């Protein structure tokens, strides 16, 4: 079997598919020189679909109350140090108003799994947003729910749903989550969301505890097969009140390497350069964009709650991470040759004509 990087790039270009073994070799071939080769190929591919345009999403962290106890997450239910909050409907809608004024055309409502965000409450919020601003896209990221619930959210007008699969290996999944959570149910959710007609986003943390080149190979194969409209990957960053508090953080450079590979596996994918990447490394988000990402999600949550949505330590929430810092973000993207656009940022299924 040929196993040089150019062979993999050619095969991805022509077939968009590699074997699990080939993905494993790629994961193990990470070094600066190979990262640069993948980066260049990914940038070229992204430009073929999206030019130098970067889409922005207004992220509204609607609450940090969560019934789950994921071992990596700072808002897990056992974290008694977390200062809990839940935004009211009025607060959520005023974040949307503020974001719309700033030029956002997509809003992401994200939070813990909190039964107070019932189908009734959420459908009301979604209908209100879509009634007032019919041209915007609404993305939900509120974890695992029933098929009926997903259907109600879709019928109310929600367009997209982000639910990272976290890992496509069930043993690894069990090392990251308590027994009541299963990869099987995650997959059920993703499958149903797709069937119902949501734009779906999966994803995983890079460098999560117990991750190996085999589990990464499965993640890449899963992305290849699911062909999600969106894919969120960011480095794992430890949080001091979780069982993984002493686990090492993921690497920003390896995250960028995987961003490039994902761009080549599924070229049209909407790929964010995440806050976690920007938190781990100065200019991390710029590096993510250069590696092939084409989405940034500035924070639109009320300033008073931003620190409380502490999934991991030292999370960035000011400056160009914040929606108010849009001018700064535009400047930092322009400096590396990219343009922030106010657009719903829907997926483009074919390469551009010109
Ligand atoms: N509850 C929803 C869900 O589970 O999809 C949305 C919120 S959840 C906190 C959003 C994402 O944060 C998770 O999918 C996870 O990958 C990421 N996350 C949680 N803890 C993290 C950590 N310590 N480092 C990096 N990312 C983390």
* Phi-psi map region of 307: left, alpha, beta (phi>0 left; psi -120 to 50 alpha): alpha
ipTM: 0.99
* Ligand 1 atom with minimal separation from the 239 CA: 23
Ordered domains of the chain (ranges, CATH) = 1-341 (3.20.20.70)
| pLDDT at residue 316 in the model | 83
- Report the alpha-carbon distance of residue 222 to residue 205 in Å, rounded: 14
| First CA to last CA distance, the chain | 37
Is 95 annotated to bind ligand? no
Residue 324: the pLDDT is: 78
Residue 134: its pLDDT value, please? 97
- Residues 50-84: tens digit of each pLDDT: 999 999 999 999 999 999 999 999 999 999 999 99
User: Cβ(230) to ligand 1 under 6 A?
Assistant: no
Host H or E run for residue 140: strand 137-141
Say what the pLDDT of residue 315 is: 86
Instruction: Kindly provide the b/e burial profile for residues 160-192, where b requires at least 16 CB atoms within 10 angstroms of the residue's own CB.
Output: bbbbbbbbbbeebbeebbeeebebeebbebbeb
CA-closest residue to ligand 1 atom 25: 236
Residue 312, ligand 1, Cβ within 6 A: yes
Tell me what pLDDT residue 317 has: 76
- CB atoms < 10 A from the CB of 352, how many? 10
Within the chain, which residues score under 70 in pLDDT?
A: 1-3, 320, 353-354
**135: annotated binding-site residue?**
no
Helix (H, G, I), strand (E, B) or coil at 263: helix
Characterize the bridge pairing of strands 230-235 and 199-206: parallel
Q: Which atom of ligand 1 is nearest to the CA of 164?
A: 14
Spatial separation of the C-alpha atoms in residues 210 and 229, rounded to whole Å: 27
- 3-state DSSP percent of the chain in helix, strand and coil, to 5: 45, 15, 40
Backbone angles phi, psi at 55, to 5 degrees: -90, 145
Q: Which two tokens stand for residue 207?
A: 């460098």
Which segments of the chain does DSSP mark as H helices, in order?
A: 5-15, 20-28, 32-50, 89-102, 119-132, 147-156, 170-176, 183-196, 213-226, 252-265, 275-280, 284-290, 303-306, 326-335
| 232-264 residues labelled b (16+ CB within 10 A) or e (exposed) | bbbbbbbbebbebeebebbbbbbbbbbbbbbbb
The pick from 113, 237, 311, 312 for probing ligand 1's pocket by mutation, whose C-beta has the most ligand atoms within 8 angstroms, reads 311
pLDDT at 325: 87
Contact yes or no for 23/216 (Cβ under 8 A): yes
pLDDT at residue number 32: 96
Ligand 1 binding pocket includes 292 (Cβ within 6 Å): no
Res 354: pLDDT? 46
Q: Whose CA is nearest to atom 13 of ligand 1?
A: 164
């Amino acid at each position: 079997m040929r196993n040089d990087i150019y062979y993999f790039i050619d095969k991805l270009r022509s077939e968009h598919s590699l074997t699990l073994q080939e993905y494993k070799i790629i994961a193990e071939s990470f070094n600066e020189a190979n990262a640069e080769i993948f980066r260049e190929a990914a940038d070229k591919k992204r430009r073929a679909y999206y030019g130098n345009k970067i889409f922005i999403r207004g992220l509204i962290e609607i609450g940090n109350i969560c019934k789950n106890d994921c071992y990596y997450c700072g808002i897990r239910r056992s974290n008694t140090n977390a200062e809990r909050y839940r935004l009211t409907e009025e607060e959520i809608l005023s974040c949307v108003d503020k974001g719309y004024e700033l030029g956002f055309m997509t809003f992401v409502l994200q939070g813990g799994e909190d039964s107070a965000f019932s189908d009734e409450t959420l459908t009301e919020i979604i209908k209100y947003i879509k009634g007032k601003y019919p041209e915007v896209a609404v993305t939900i990221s509120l974890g695992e729910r029933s098929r009926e619930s997903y259907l109600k959210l879709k019928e109310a007008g929600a367009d997209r749903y982000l639910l990272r699969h976290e890992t496509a290996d069930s043993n690894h999944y069990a090392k990251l989550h308590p027994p009541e959570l299963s990869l099987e149910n995650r997959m059920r959710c993703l499958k149903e969301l797709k069937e119902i007609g949501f734009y779906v986003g999966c994803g995983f943390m890079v460098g999560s505890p117990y991750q190996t080149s085999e589990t990464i190979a499965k993640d890449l194969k899963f992305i290849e097969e699911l062909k999600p409209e969106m894919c969120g990957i960011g480095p794992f960053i430890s949080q001091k009140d979780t069982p993984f508090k002493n686990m090492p953080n993921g690497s920003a450079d390896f995250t960028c390497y995987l961003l490039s590979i994902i761009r080549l596996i599924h070229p049209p994918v909407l790929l964010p350069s995440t806050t976690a990447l920007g938190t781990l490394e100065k200019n991390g988000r710029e590096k993510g964009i250069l590696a092939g990402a084409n989405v940034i999600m500035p924070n639109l949550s009320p300033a008073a709650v931003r620190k409380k949505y502490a999934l991991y330590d030292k999370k960035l929430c000011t400056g160009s991470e914040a929606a108010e810092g849009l001018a700064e973000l535009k400047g930092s993207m322009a400096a590396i040759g990219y343009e922030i656009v106010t657009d719903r940022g829907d997926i483009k299924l074919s390469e551009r004509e010109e």
